Structure 1
Amino acid sequence: MRNGTFEQYTVEDILQTFGAEARTFLREYRIDRSNLRFADACAAASVTPDEFLAQLDAGMRRRAARAVKHSVEEYA
């Protein structure tokens, strides 16, 4: 499924929208913080915007699950 809305964002907009987790994935793909369109930055890094966002979503879900697990263990 393609989401053209995020493709029109700039890399800076993606950082503002998704925060620190996005920064990690942008570094992994060697995409610099810029006003370049997100779709163009992804193309330069040989990744589709959908693939990037799917990996970002999975990473955010894993981090949230770890936080909940840690929280439960802390109070158990």
Structure 2
Amino acid sequence: MRNGNFENYTVEEILQTFGAEARTFLRENRIDRSHLRLADACAAASISPDEFLAQLEAGMRRAADRTATQNIAQYV
């Protein structure tokens, strides 16, 4: 799935939009905080923007699942 909107965001805007989870994936892919477009920063790190965004989405879903599981366990 191509998502042209987020590819045109700067790395800094991605951090502001997605927060700490994005910081983790940016660090893993060796992408520095900058005013480069995400597409350009990903190209420099040899990863496609789609792959980066898919990893970010999967990580955010896992974190949400963990939180939900912890909340359920707390009330059981």
TM bracket, shorter-chain basis: over 0.9
The range that moved more, 2-11 or 22-31, is: 2-11
Query: 2 CA distance for matches of 1:61 and 1:14?
Result: 17
Q: Distance in 2 between matches of 1:70 and 1:7?
A: 33
Trace 1:43-58 onto structure 2 (pairs within 5 A). Answer: 43-58=43-58
Question: Match for residue 66 of structure 1?
Answer: 66
Note the C-alpha offset of 1:74: 1.0
| In 2, Cα distance between equivalents of 1:31 and 1:12 | 11
Please give the alpha-carbon distance, in whole angstroms, between the structure 1 residues aligned to 2:67 and 2:6.
27
Residue 28 of structure 2 is matched in structure 1 by: 28
1:67 deviates by: 0.4
Normalising by structure 1, we get a TM-score of 0.96
Q: Which amino acid aligns with 1:69?
A: T
RMSD: 0.6
Note the C-alpha offset of 1:72: 0.6
TM-score (norm 2): 0.96
Unpaired runs of 5+ residues, structure 2, are none
* Structure 2 counterpart SS, 1:15: helix
2:11 aligned partner: 11
